[in-house]
A and B are shown apart, each in its own frame.
Chain A
């Protein structure tokens, strides 16, 4: 197959001598636009459907064919979700947990990443390898002993099991920040040493300010992971006032199973903050994907 491929290519080029290069580019681009636009509509349709349903009166959803633009347009379900459920509280809980854990994770991880990349001490590489192994342990394997441990501490139905482990940093973040710090020029330390700075000063005054790109990436990845986490809160949280947004939605679903406009209004409220953050910080999202993909 591989050997005779070039010869067939030559014959096909000869049989279409007038199929111009420019024309070829245009058909290719046309197909690309077609595929992308159809795909984009498919991707967006569920969101539009959610929004449209959330603005319909209760009985408006049970019509066929469905109404795309609700008529009448009502906001009652948003008000009901806002008043009757703890959704606002859930938003606050989620934001608090996600922000605190992400900052803690970044603080602890970048410091360790710096040490692994720029400092010399016995056993450095072995400790780093140990941390890398952590990344390969599936979360389910450690889930049960962790639960038992936190139960012994009396931390069930508190946010502590969700927050405390991340304050120690994560292997993934250590790895990413190590890779980042390793790329910075050697002269930075030398200059700092000449000025008589100790390692804390060197880290906080020189390296940390340079680490903004990796911090942004870690923030975006960490925040999304914590905001979306379902299994952790499901296991540890019991009372509704402690629930995070994903748990609130699951609860909403079991409480109002067939009231679709209400459920969709809840989904909109849950999705809106994250969509806003996404649109504002889209550059960092895209970059974070590129960075995490590179290690492959």
Chain B
């Protein structure tokens, strides 16, 4: 009797297990075909050269070396074109080696200052093979050297991508302010929420068109409102701030809603306790609101950074990475390598590199979080 009950239970258990596997089958198969499989294949491709038409050729570490290595070069000293003498710069004038004043420093009446002479070097940019861009220069004795990334487009893209993420803290600060304003027990809360949130759900392809027109240097809204004539998107210094401005407009509402939910979760007693202690508005924010919101901030920071590293659509439509390479991002570099130049192997290398960087930054974020994120269970200790 007992044995058959046990059998019956195990039969039921097997039945449940079979149904369970059937229920989760689709996402698991999807996981294998569309996530795990591609992940491994892309790692494999990163060690090959593959142009889609001939089969992949093993390339060892070539791609990784191309992506990660630096190139060194010595910058030659400038020589006089006729005599071949080395040229020195003394004060504001260039003189050949033979005419350099004997003294270490001479007093120049015209400049009214002590002048010294130092050897003059060529342009660092010209010393590197073409396409390589200089990172920094250094001197060893009298010799000058320059270091550049072997793949300047990738690293310029990395720099731009990180630069564009400067918008994240600004956006978080603004959205926190707005959420706090919304949390004051105000009329039309729903209406405000709707308006701020709307841009975040719209296709960037469409909002990018609107902002292209707003940024128009001659007839755009922004220059009109500011009374300026700034060439927002065609100026290498302005293009990144411009993209950041649009990015803040387009992402603010989501962060604001999350902050608002966070604010509504702050226990009322904490404020009452703070008021009894005589805390002013700033102190209430600093010692009650902000600590309670650190988990929310952390969540927003992590998700925005992961998204920020994969920035693509906005610069792709608005600037095509220009002017020059001033707004090229890493994903644009990957896209160009893969689908314009058909270098699937090298593009996979860049993609894996980016994935690894995202992972690394996320891990670092989580380990730093212990220092500044408060969870409610921590407050007792």
Contact = CB atoms under 8 A, between A and B. Distances in A.
Interface of A: 2, 5-6, 9-10, 12-13, 28-29, 31-33, 35-36, 39-40, 42-47, 49-50, 53, 61-66, 108-109, 111-112, 114-116, 119-122, 124, 127, 130-131, 134, 136-149, 151, 165, 167-171, 174, 198-200, 203, 224, 227-228, 230-231, 235, 245-247, 249-250, 252-253, 260, 263-264, 266-267, 270-271, 274-275, 278-279, 282, 285-286, 289-290, 293-296
Contact of B355 (A45, A140, A250): A140
B348 A144 contact: yes
B309 to A, nearest CB: 7
Contacts of A264: 209-210, 213
Contact of B23 (A29, A115, A267, A286): A115
A203 B24 CA distance: 13
B2 to A, nearest CB: 21
Nearest to A47: B210
B211 A200 contact: no
Given A35-B181, A140-B334, A228-B203, A253 B317 contact: yes
Contacts of A253: 209, 212, 317
B283 A130 contact: no
A66 B221 contact: yes
A174 B27 CA distance: 8
A28 B284 CA distance: 14
7 contacts: A9-B280, A140-B334, A142-B42, A168-B34, A228-B205, A231-B335, A250-B205
A9 B21 contact: no
Interface string B346-377: 01100110110011001000000000000000
A216 to B, nearest CB: 15
Q: How large is the interface on B (under 10, 10 to 19, 20 to 34, 35 or more residues)?
A: 35 or more
B177 A137 contact: no
Contact of B178 (A33, A39, A200, A252): A39
A contacts with B: majority SS: helix
A177 to B, nearest CB: 11
A148 B296 CA distance: 39
Contacts of A10: 278
A231 B312 contact: yes
Interface of B: 13, 16-17, 19-21, 23-24, 26-31, 33-39, 41-42, 45, 52, 177-178, 180-182, 184-186, 190, 192-199, 201-207, 209-214, 216, 218-219, 221, 224, 249, 252-254, 257-258, 261-262, 277-281, 283, 287, 295-296, 298-300, 302-303, 306, 309-310, 312-313, 316-317, 331, 334-335, 338-339, 344, 347-348, 351-352, 354-355, 358-359, 362
B23 A271 contact: no
Given A61-B219, A141-B354, A285-B197, A9 B279 contact: yes
A231 B41 CA distance: 20
Contacts of B202: 228, 271, 274-275
A137 B355 contact: yes
Contact of A145 (B45, B195, B316, B362): B45
A178 B277 CA distance: 44
Contact of B280 (A12, A121, A266): A12
Given A112-B26, A286-B257, A5 B351 contact: no
Contacts of A263: 209, 212-213
A126 to B, nearest CB: 11
Contacts of A63: 219
Nearest to B286: A5
Contacts of B254: 289
A147 B348 CA distance: 12
B184 A32 contact: yes
Nearest to A152: B52
A169 B30 contact: yes
Contacts of A32: 180-182, 184, 186
A31 B186 CA distance: 11
Contacts of B206: 245-246, 249, 267, 270-271
B198 A50 contact: no
B351 A169 contact: no
B261 A134 contact: no
B214 A46 contact: yes
B257 A49 contact: no
B193 A286 contact: yes
Contacts of B212: 253, 263
B10 to A, nearest CB: 12
Contacts of B41: 145, 148-149
Nearest to B209: A267
Contact of B37 (A28, A29, A39, A145): A145
A234 to B, nearest CB: 8
Given A49-B213, A145-B38, A285 B221 contact: no
A13 B37 CA distance: 65
B192 A138 contact: no
Contacts of B214: 46, 49
Given A112-B28, A142-B39, A264-B209, 17 more contacts: A9-B278, A32-B186, A43-B249, A108-B30, A121-B20, A130-B28, A142-B38, A145-B41, A146-B38, A148-B52, A168-B27, A169-B26, A228-B201, A267-B206, A271-B203, A282-B190, A290-B258
A43 B199 contact: yes
Contact of B177 (A35, A139, A141, A169): A35
Contact of B195 (A31, A40, A147, A168): A40
Nearest to B26: A108
Contact of A296 (B203, B300, B335, B347): B300
Contacts of A266: 209
B277 A6 contact: yes
A66 to B, nearest CB: 6
A293 to B, nearest CB: 4
Contacts of B224: 64-66
